[in-house]
Amino acid sequence: MLGEAAADPYLDPVLNSRFIHQTSSIRRIGSLELFLFDNNSCMLKVTCGSVHGWGEYVLPDSPRPIDLVRWGGVFADLRGLCLSECLQLIRDKESFWGFDRCQLAQSALFHLAWQLQNQEYSTIYETDHSPLSRAYLLEQSKSYYSLW
């Protein structure tokens, strides 16, 4: 992980490792959603029950438009897996997935682990007018891909 990302408590794998392994056989990934914005910022929403984890990554500039279905299709492998299995899959597929996708998936999964561990303290609400509501994100994004 990037040094600056590890400074954030919910992205720190050491802080999350115990919880991830404790819940490894209980919590499974249900759905994933990708949103691509005009500035090549990509957001990944990972859902486990009614709890969501978010990751964001700014993709490098490319002369060709990004095909979000092709680029994000690898994330379908995470569906149905527990958190520790997801992280192992990312490590196993790192050379195929590449840095960008691995970073995006890891950040969303670590955020999800933090959200699961701190549900009563979570301050991220997804109301209709929230910047994290599906309606708002769909309105703002140039491309969307859902892996249900």
State the pTM of this model: 0.79
pLDDT of residue 40: 87
Tokens standing for residue 118: 């701190």
Q: What percent of the chain has pLDDT over 70?
A: 74
In this structure, are residues 134 and 43 in contact, taking their beta carbons and an 8 Å threshold? no
pLDDT band at 32 (very low <50, low <70, confident <90, very high): very high
In this structure, are residues 61 and 72 in contact, taking their beta carbons and an 8 Å threshold? no
